[in-house]
Amino acid sequence: MLSRLLTFLVDHRLRGGGRPPKGYVIATGALGRRADFHLASDSYPRVMAARLRILLDRYYDQIQWRHRLSVPRGRYAIIIQERAAPPAGGPDREPGATSASVARPALPRPTGQFVEVARPASPLPELPKMLAGLLASAATASPACFLFCG
């Protein structure tokens, strides 16, 4: 279900959706809820957005990233963040250094301050690779362990 939500939000963003979709649209369009769904009595879209936010944070905590996808609290939107400096261990490292021999400092946690990246003529080249990694992580995560395991 998280992969469907992520795909729905990315598609919405890439199609030029100026405003984030509403909870009802997400529930019926991405999460399989029926047309008689009532957002006031069913928190499923909010819960799934929170789980997706956690999954994205965990994924980006494990990799060196230049661009990252994020779901801000209180919004059903995908935001593309851009790191101001190249990731540690990137193209600037010394010749002959292996990734194991390069000390990588801990990445800072997102601060909630997002840099809006202008929408390119074509999607970011890294986007398919990022989505594939996220979907693979979601597929291997235990549903019972998703929110509570470290």
Contact 142, 149 (CB under 8 A): yes
Distance CA 33, CA 5 (A): 12
Q: How many domains does the chain have?
A: 1
Task: Sort residue 21 into left (φ over 0), alpha (ψ -120 to 50) or beta.
Answer: beta
For residue 117, tell me if it sits in a domain: yes
3-state secondary structure of 11: helix
What average pLDDT does this structure show over 127-132?
63
Note down the domain range covering 66: 2-87+107-140
Give the model's pLDDT for residue 138.
Answer: 53
Residues 66-123: tens digit of each pLDDT: 889 999 998 898 888 887 776 666 544 444 444 444 444 555 555 555 555 555 454 4
For residue 74, tell me if it sits in a domain: yes
Contact 60, 91 (CB under 8 A): no
For residue 101, tell me if it sits in a domain: no
Give the model's pLDDT for residue 139.
Answer: 53
For residue 126, tell me if it sits in a domain: yes
For residue 50, tell me if it sits in a domain: yes
Stated pTM of the model: 0.57
For residue 149, tell me if it sits in a domain: no
